Structure 1
Amino acid sequence: MKDPLFFTDSFFVEKPERIETMLFLMSLCLLIYNLGQRELRNCLKRVKKGINNQVGKVTLRPTLRWIFQCFQGIHYVILNGVEQIVNLTEERRFILSLLPASCQRYYL
């Protein structure tokens, strides 16, 4: 919630029920986010291989936010009727191999 990209200042709710609902949804999202991060870190530990963090150092404990940022540069392009996925580097393919099959289908 401290992140400026979270836009908490744009929410304006007065009713206690709406505040409770907003807090419930935010807690649920945080739970799912943490479960995903935990699963990724456990997979990295299992294969005994790390990935580069924001400063280029290898880590076994990346944040899921960093992983999301890594995947921002991947694009689906159609040129002259040919479908391509661009910017899918080997490191991104390695990270995909650690994620569930549904994520792999999305990018591959």
Structure 2
Amino acid sequence: MALLMAWALCLLVYAALQWRIRQGLKETGCSYPDQKENPTQRPAARWVFQSFEEIHVLCNGEQQLVLNLEQYHRTVVSILGPEYERLYVSHPMCPT
């Protein structure tokens, strides 16, 4: 029962995030590339998650650089809000 409850909660969070991304794209008039590189305002959350896998954070001395962040990634991050934007911005100092 506990595993079923955790699974249902994960699906709920997944669906809520997909809805928020789609709603934000619709409100702003922006689009996100699908698997065939065609712009869409209704991307699947799985595809959005998969496209974020190529993003890396490089800590070099006192700098934190976010690598491979494209404009369409920035659009989704800005739709999700400042908490997410803070995670995907290059910082001059690495956290310790």
Specify which structure has the bigger relative contact order, considering alpha-carbon pairs within 8 angstroms and separated by 6 or more residues. 2
Using the alignment, how far apart are the partners of 1:81 and 1:43 within structure 2? 34
Match of 1:94 in 2: 75
- What displacement does 1:23 show? 0.6
1:1-108 equivalences under 5 Å are 20-108=1-89
- What displacement does 1:29 show? 0.7
1:77 is paired with a residue whose SS is strand
TM-score, normalising length from structure 2?
0.83
CA RMSD of aligned residues (A): 1.3
Q: After the TM superposition, which segments of 4 or more aligned residues of structure 1 sit over 6 Å from their partners?
A: none
Q: Is the contact made by 2:25 and 2:31 (CA closer than 8 Å) also made in structure 1?
A: yes
Long gaps (5+) in structure 1: 1-19
Using the alignment, how far apart are the partners of 1:81 and 1:28 within structure 2? 39
Q: Is the contact made by 2:78 and 2:84 (CA closer than 8 Å) also made in structure 1?
A: no
Long gaps (5+) in structure 2: 90-96
Match of 1:11 in 2: none
Using the alignment, how far apart are the partners of 1:42 and 1:61 within structure 2? 9
Answer with 1 or 2: which has the greater Rg: 1
The number of equivalent residue pairs is: 89
- What displacement does 1:21 show? 0.8
Using the alignment, how far apart are the partners of 2:3 and 2:47 within structure 1? 25
Using the alignment, how far apart are the partners of 1:33 and 1:103 within structure 2? 16
- What displacement does 1:44 show? 0.7
Aligned-residue sequence identity (percent) comes to 31
TM-score, normalising length from structure 1?
0.75
